[in-house]
Amino acid sequence: MRSLVSALCAGLLTVAALLVGTPAGATSLSENTENTENTENTENTENYVALGDSYAAGTGAGDYGDSGSCMRSANGFAPLWAAANSPASFANVTCGGATTDDVLGGQVDALKEDTSLVSIAIGGNDVGFADVMTTCTLGSDQSCVDKVEEAKTAARETLPAKLDTTYAEIKKRSPQARVVVLGYPRVFVSGSADCSMSETKRTALNGAADELSTVIEGRVGAAGMTYSDVRDEFDGHGVCTDAAWIHGVRPNLGESYHPNADGQKSGYLPAFEGAVGVRAAR
């Protein structure tokens, strides 16, 4: 039994590395880009660029093609929207593990003056998402709460400036684009539940998602962009629900605590679709 427990713990300790993945800025843009030109439908003149981290990339939804450690899924909301709407062009440079530095260091190179639509989900890795989930999976209730409080402090004190810089660069490169910033869901079901994660841990983690959402929404409003909160879409579909749209710990550890294909199709995609037609805040 000891060897089994040791092996499990050793495996779970790699969650942090796999959740963070290879920094998006470490590979060339061509390796992270999926470009499609619409030659059949000239009615949709959108030039769409998808930016962001694993939640934007569809990590957890399978079908990653040749995207390597970026784990960019064909079942992610961005390619699903592109397939349904046939934009004039589509560049998907999302990558699992991306931070605001990775967006600024490489992903923004996909933005052009004629880019008309941009989606982005970013910020979770900047406040230590992987470390928080690893601590809460393996540690005590108190260690989880303490790690969550560290992340919430980072969200309040250091993340706003990083988001401001990122959003400003997007506007600089694509001044005419509609920019939709998507938030993050609460990962777990709330309250009493049959779940390997204690209620104390789940409450703390969901509180961190709320804090992160509040910070991101505030900076998006200040930038005059459009924020789409996905918490309503995912309500009732967190880890430990009967119809979970978010994975728990997975054999492919990089997929752990990420939306599955249903979460991308029925959670993120409707949130993006609803926001595409919404004017930015002025």
Q: Which residues are known to be catalytic? A: 54, 258
What are the strands, taking DSSP E only, across 139-204? 178-182
**Cβ(221)–Cβ(281) under 8 Å?**
yes
Instruction: Please name the residues in contact with 259: beta carbons below 8 A apart, sequence gap of 6 or more.
Output: 55, 58, 60, 61, 185, 234, 245, 246, 247, 267, 268
**Alpha-carbon Rg for the chain in angstroms:** 18
C-alpha separations of 274 from 18, 51, 175, 215, 268 in Å? 31, 18, 22, 21, 10
46 by Cβ neighbours in 10 Å (0-12 / 13-18 / 19+) ranks as buried
Torsion of CA 190, 203, 158, 168, to 10 degrees: 0
